[in-house]
Structure 1
Amino acid sequence: MKLKGSKATDLLKKIAVDVRWCDSCSVPVTSLDTCGVCGSRTRKVKAVPPADIRPAFSRDLRDLRELLEASYGAKIAEKLLPQRSIVLLNKIEYADAADEVIVGGFTIGTRIYDLYSLKWVFRPEYRGASLLIAERRAYAIVKSSTLKKFQFFERSDIVEGDLPEKGYVAVETADGRYQGLAKVLERGGLRVAKVWKAVPPLPKVKGYSDLSKAIKANEERLDLLENDALRLIENYREGSAVTISGGKDSSAALALAVKAGVRYAVYVDTGVDFAENYNSVKEICSLLGAELLVAKPRDGFWKCIRVFGIQSRDYRWCTRVLKLAPLAKIFSEKGFVTSITGQRKYESVSRAIAAQVSRSYTLRSIRSVVSPIHSWSSLEVFMYLEKESLPINRLYFSGFDRIGCYVCPMLKLPEINSISSLEFSKWNRFLKTHARKHKLPQEWISLALWRWRFKYPPEVETVLSKRGIKAKEIILRNLSSRVNIGLEGNSLRVILVDLPEVNLSLLARNLQNFFDVKRSSGEKLVLEDNIEVYSNGTIVVPSDLIKNIDFIVKSIYSIHVCVRCELCKYSSPDDCPVLKYLHLDVANLVRKILEG
């Protein structure tokens, strides 16, 4: 089941983390009405659902401080981001990186990675915006007694203010009843982006706080989470192994599993993982005494990419070929029937829908997929690792939110721009060569447009449009690198590029149960209704029978392409990555051409 739009939003609201704050100790508290240190009542922290808050680490804090100092000066930056206080980040929906920034249990604003400047930009909100108004910095007081989203104010409407040339400012009505966030426009006015009833400025944070102090305040909650997780794992201990990636979630799952008596951890070395991931896995397995098993794909990434093309968020062949296939093989060889994972419901809508214990949708040899930290927040995971004195992958301290491969399309731009490894330089050269070969604009590299294959997010399309670039042209040019399609009279001609000579005899046998085969020779196969397939990979289909293209293309690829991943041994034939992904370029290119 897939949820989108308002249904997905409603679900995230329903499952949102109960984030609270102790003002006496200046620490976050999750799901507890009283602080575990001082016993004071905690108050609710308002955060965008699902409120999967995480602590800001060294690189996050450095970037934030530099951003605030550049925007408002050192004095105000220190008030917004006091050095003695724990700072929380809450990832929110955006085309790229974006986080709510929470200080002292109050949202001070949102940092977004701006797709125009390719830099972090700060949008002051709520207590942060109110502080700027009080400090008379980056603010505007307007004549109006009300504020509405998208409302426009001329310069003449501003009673007083301190407006930068560009960026965002805090705005307040003349009577002080309403506040908001407004964008400074090129022609000098303001466009309101967000509105709320006026709130007081951010108060001064009381005392010093850090993750260790937060752990003490949340000790009761962490003990409860641990006990529930241990009871769950004990029911599935026999024949189980933990799938570990080097990220925080699977590390916590491994720590819990070892306590419950599980011996094995399985790490899949994709060949394009960050070195920090494997180092972190080895270190935590050694500390916990877990036996580490390493699985590898039969053919590596650089060989497979020549077959599938560049992976993307809407074309993730890499997960099946580089991860699921080797994982299935080692589970089958070792007789493991239960996979213990670090999946959490706050990571995505699909994981929010998934049960804590489920059957693998892809690998038939795995009877149960168990997620012991399914209901843990990011903050709780980090606190648990710190409490257990377990290592945390150092990529988190370098500004990464998600740990995976350095070629992963799920990476955010600031993460990509911070990578400096030799391995990544090879990937970067590959992308630049591809862009030159197919005459793609430099934005395909600078905006990492390779992360999408068939459709860009609206925000990305807007950026491209303002630069005079048509998003559809980039997509068509990129897809045409693997398939050529053209309309000829009343027929559609499809040419599959880089395909060996098609075995028409074998193809005819595969298609005879679905089509009436009229004629077959060494160079040409004629099906019913004048559908023609040539040995050079050309397919000609009458326009009114275009719906048959997809099936024919799948049949051709199933005969002639195999990446030897062996996933078919452990899963349904329909899950073969060749069948699941290679035909998509043709299907999407046909659709876009017909759309005009």
Structure 2
Amino acid sequence: MYWSHYSAKIYWDIERNIPVLRRTEKSIRIKCTPPSDVRPALGYDILFIRNLIRNYFKDPVDSDRFLPLDSRVILLNKIPYPDLAHEIIMDGHIIGHQFYDFSLRKWRFKPLYAGISKILDYRIGFYAVTSLTKLRRNFVVHRGDIVESSLPERKGEFVALTTKDDLYNALGVLIKKNRIRVLKSWRARKFPRPRRSGSMYEVIKANREFVLDDVEESTRFLKSISKKYVVDKRIILSFSGGKDSMATLLISKHAINDFYVLFNDTGIELPETLEYVAQVAREYNLRLVLASAYDKFFESLRVFGPPARDYRWCCKVIKLAPIAKVIKEKFGNSTVLSIVGQRRYESLARARSPRVWRNRWIPNVIVTSPILDWTALEVWIYLLMNKVRVNSLYLKGFDRLGCWLCPASELAELELVERNHPEMWNTWSEYLRKWSEERKLPKEWMNYGLWRWLSIPGDVRRLLDRKVLEGLERDDRGRGLVVSIEGRTPEILARVEVSKPIDTKALVEHLKPLGSVRIEGESIKVENEFGRVTFYKAPNLSIAVEYYHSYEDGIKLLENVLKALLRSLNCVLCEFCSIFCPNSAIKIHDNGISVNENLCTHCLKCLESCPVVEYLTILISGTRSP
């Protein structure tokens, strides 16, 4: 499924000059980049956009002609860029992009479509009228091609372009004095200038009936789902402190009222969110349940290093584990209905999601989202029409809430954190600096926030030179064990490089789920139906696997033994193994785990669920056949 085939339909009422959620006779569909999950620009956003446009135009008079000083509604639509970027929609059309320039580390404005048309009509800002009959992408407009212009002095600035007959408009960038490279071109069109400005009050009034219809549908849906799946009122609502979960909370109180509210305190939530959750719990008299990770994130850094978008160990350790633990303690293995504020226009994965599904990691939890088909604009209208107090972070420029150092954040979002909470950010920045220096990583790893990836994506790689990319190869996150093996009949010998001292007691406990374990002098032996394994700790660690049936069985047994070794060396006490053990055979202590051999059935769910096994690699080389 691609976004081009799945996009929200948002309309603009031309007469009232406001966005509407339902098509009317006097409305047009807003043409913006899919998934078109537009949101209203709030007070902070409008001031930010106005300042950005003033910086672009230089002349405040030109800026105010381009973006009038009135109450008109502006929408923002998040779009793909190397960093954070939005389409700015005004009067029903895109006037440009606001984007965070990854290389310059600053916000910029790029005029487009209706914005280019306005610049050319009013002859404001930077523009050039050419003698050309057509403008094509990457074509360079020379001084001799220009018949009228107002050009910037500094290269890299954006310029509005048009042909001599006004048939084609384009966006260009100044590359040298009086030379402009065409970035994008299109057939020119006239954009109507609305007679009135419109306002958010009118947006709420015009869309009220549509939103109330959706609230009623969501309420009916929740009532039917709760009757179908729930016994003894085992219902929880996941509350993050964001707008979507707040809207879901209001709908749920209409539908079923009697439920627990679960807040996952990851230990890296912003103070405003913690304060807001407590405030909402008091105001709505909620039965609040905390799933707290305490300091587990920072404690786990010693094993995993900084998280990344393609290395998100943190989600398992500080989100899933605390949530699963609370649900198990409160409800055992009984069926639980979990209500979430998930919307399909947030990501491709969520676009594919059904409205009801079973939690992958906690099978007894049925998850449902009553607002799955809502857009961000509808959520905001619903909250505003009910005069709901929202998380104050939205009023400070934040759009996405959650863990404040999440690697999924863009640089622009992390700068907002730094601006609002410099002490918190400096602590994280200092950790990253030390981690980087220990591995002699290039300065770009920190300056460009490259710690947010293990494998750098293509649009970012293109901004980096070869030496930087080569230096990034010293990033050793996710590296667990290095093993070389020799295959012999009926035995496999493995030599293991270990950078940490082996704790015999811890290793024995982690080996117990594999079979019977005993210590003989300096060696440790494990045996099950597939074979016998012997650990020799001196002078270097080696593992001998005597397999009883096939070589493949021997390799599988070796892999499981190596996973147990990896866990014993790197256990972060996340409690995943004890939570998911079906027989409660595993207990967590301050200094490690213990396994009750009388209860353990060797199902290996502890190995399958462990984040250490999932995120730290075991590199095996050598002979792989007998």
> Does the aligned pair in 1 maintain the 2:103–2:463 contact within 8 Å?
yes
- The reply on whether 1:135 has 2:130 as its aligned counterpart is no
Contact 2:525 2:532 in 1 (8 A): no
Distance across 2 between alignment mates of 1:85 and 1:386: 17
What is the one-letter code of the residue matched to 2:371? I
Deviation of the 1:549 alpha carbon: 10
Task: Decide which moves more: 510-519 or 280-289.
Answer: 510-519
> What's 1:22 paired with?
13
Q: Given the alignment of the two structures, is residue 174 of structure 1 paired with residue 175 of structure 2, yes or no?
A: no
1:479 to 476, 496, 517: 476
Q: Shift of residue 548 of structure 1?
A: 12
* CA-to-aligned-CA distance 1:382-440 (integer Å, 9 cap, x gap): 11111122121121122212101111112221221122323232212212222232222
Structure 1 residue 151: Cα displacement: 2.8
Structure 2 equivalent of residue 576 of structure 1 = 610
* Larger displacement relative to structure 2 (550-559 or 172-181): 550-559
Q: Larger RCO: Structure 1 or Structure 2 (Cα < 8 Å, ≥ 6 residues apart)? A: 1
1:226 paired residue among 194, 215, 226: 215
Moved more, 439-448 or 376-385: 439-448
1:519 and 1:525 in contact (8 A); partners too: yes
Q: Deviations for 1:92-133, whole angstroms, at most 9, x for unmatched residues?
A: 112210100001111001111101211111111110011112
* 1:456 match: 456
The aligned counterpart of 1:340 is: 339
Q: Bigger shift: 297-306 or 223-232?
A: 297-306
Q: Distance in 2 between matches of 1:126 and 1:134?
A: 12
User: What secondary structure, in the 3-state scheme, does the structure 2 residue paired with 1:107 have?
Assistant: strand
CA distance in 1, matches of 2:541, 2:16: 78
Matched, 1:239 2:234: yes
1:44 aligns with 2:37: no
Alpha-carbon deviations, 1:303-333, whole Å to 9, x = none?
Answer: 0111211111111111111111111122222
- Secondary structure of residue in 2 paired with 1:463: coil
Question: Is 1:251 the counterpart of 2:246 in the alignment?
Answer: yes
State which of 45, 50, 56 in structure 2 corresponds to 1:65: 50
Q: Is the 8 A contact 2:219 2:255 kept in 1?
A: yes
Distance 1:199 1:304, change over 3 A: same
Kept in 2, the 8 Å contact 1:17–1:50? The answer is: yes
Per-residue CA distance 1:224-264 (angstroms, 9 max, x = gap): 21011111211233421110111111111111111112332
C-alpha displacement at 1:555, in angstroms?
4.3
Q: Does 1:371 align with 2:369?
A: yes
Q: How big is the shift at 1:16?
A: 1.0
Matched, 1:108 2:99: no
Any idea what SS the aligned residue of 2:34 has? coil
Residue 90 of structure 1 is matched in structure 2 by 77
Deviates more, 1:511-520 or 1:549-558: 511-520
Name the counterpart of 1:207.
196
Matched, 1:352 2:347: no
In structure 1, the partner of 2:572 is 563
Mark the CA change 1:160 to 1:204 in structure 2 (over 3 Å): closer, same or farther: same
Q: What is residue 197 of structure 1 aligned with on the other side?
A: 187
Larger radius of gyration: 2
1:395-544 equivalent positions in 2, closer than 5 A: 395-419=393-417, 420-421=420-421, 422-452=423-453, 454-465=454-465, 469-474=467-472, 476-479=473-476, 495-498=497-500, 500=502, 506=511, 520=536, 522=538, 523-527=540-544
Q: Distance in 2 between matches of 1:345 and 1:559?
A: 40
Contact 1:342 1:371 in 2 (8 A): yes
Q: Match for residue 55 of structure 1?
A: 40
The answer to which of 403-412 and 205-214 deviates more is 205-214
Relative distance call for 1:577 and 1:526 in structure 2 (3 A) is closer
Q: What CA distance in whole angstroms lies between the structure 1 residues aligned with 2:238 and 2:33?
A: 30
DSSP-derived class of the 2:137 partner: coil
CA distance in 1, matches of 2:482, 2:103: 33
Deviation at residue 68 of structure 1 after TM alignment = 0.9
Counterpart in the other structure of 1:158: 146
Work out whether residues 110 and 123 of structure 1, in 8 Å CA contact, stay in contact via their aligned partners in 2. Answer: yes
Displacement of 1:516 in angstroms is 8.7
Q: 2:519 maps to what in 1?
A: none
* SS of aligned partner of 1:82: coil
- The TM-score normalised by the length of structure 2 is 0.80
Pick from 261, 264, 269: which aligns with 1:273? 269
Deviations 1:473-510 (Å, cap 9, x if unpaired)? Answer: 21x222179669799xxxx9984545646888859867
SS in 1 for 2:251: helix
Alignment-derived partner of residue 296 in structure 1: 292
**Alignment partners' CA distance in 1, 2:102 and 2:495:** 38
* 1:26–1:207 CA contact under 8 A, matched in 2: yes
Task: Specify the SS of the correspondent of 1:185.
Answer: strand
Partner SS for 1:391 = coil
Deviation of 1:357 after TM superposition, in Å, equals 0.7
Return 247-256 or 561-570, whichever deviates more: 561-570
Aligned equivalents of 1:463, 1:499: Cα separation in 2: 41
Secondary structure of the corresponding residue to residue 479 of structure 1: coil
- The percentage of aligned residue pairs carrying the same residue is 32
Distance change in 2, residues 1:552/1:127 (3 Å): farther
Q: TM-score, normalised by structure 1?
A: 0.84
* Residue 327 (structure 1) aligned to one of 323, 326, 347: 323
Comparing 174-183 with 106-115, which one deviates more in the overlay? Answer: 174-183
Give me the whole-angstrom Cα distance separating, in 2, the residues matched to 1:443 and 1:181.
Answer: 30
Q: Residue 236 of structure 1: SS of its match in structure 2?
A: helix
Distance 1:103 1:252 in 2: 26
CA distance in 2 between counterparts of 1:511 and 1:353 reads: 45
User: Which amino acid in the other structure matches residue 62 of structure 1?
Assistant: L
Distance in 2, matches of 1:444 and 1:170, equals 35
Deviation at 1:559, TM superposition (A): 3.9
Contact 1:483 1:494 in 2 (8 A): no
Deviations 1:424-461 (A, max 9, x none): 32212212222232222332222111111x21122322
Distance 1:328 1:504 in 2: 26
Is the 2:173–2:181 contact (alpha carbons within 8 Å) kept by the matching residues of 1? yes
2:590 paired residue number: none
User: Are residues 521 and 354 of structure 1, via their aligned partners in 2, closer, same or farther at CA, if it must alter by over 3 Å?
Assistant: same
Which residue of 71, 74, 83 maps to 2:60?
74
- Could you tell me which amino acid in structure 2 is paired with residue 350 of structure 1? A
Query: In the superposition, relative to structure 1, how do residues 437 and 499 fare at CA in structure 2: closer, same or farther (>3 Å)?
Result: same
Deviations 1:163-220 (A, max 9, x none): 222222222222211112222224753222222210225x544434333321111112
- Give the conservation status (yes or no) of the 8 Å contact 1:243–1:339: yes
Distance between the aligned counterparts of 2:403 and 2:94, measured in 1?
Answer: 32
Displacement of 1:76 in angstroms is 2.8
Q: Which runs of 5+ in 2 are unaligned?
A: 227-232, 485-493, 515-523, 547-554, 581-604, 622-626
Distance in 1 (alpha carbons) for counterparts of 2:363 and 2:525: 29
Q: State the distance in 1 between where 2:478 and 2:287 align.
A: 45
CA gap 1:280/1:480 in 2 versus in 1, 3 angstroms: closer
Q: 1:472 to 1:385 in 2, by over 3 A?
A: farther
Tell me: CA distance 1:580–1:188, structure 2 relative to 1, closer, same or farther (3 Å): farther
Deviations 1:353-382 (A, max 9, x none): 11111111121231x111111011111111
Letter in 2 for 1:95: P
Distance in 2 (CA, whole Å) between partners of 1:510 and 1:170 is 73
The Cα shift of 1:41 comes to 2.1
Could you tell me whether the CA contact under 8 Å between 2:304 and 2:477 is conserved in 1? no
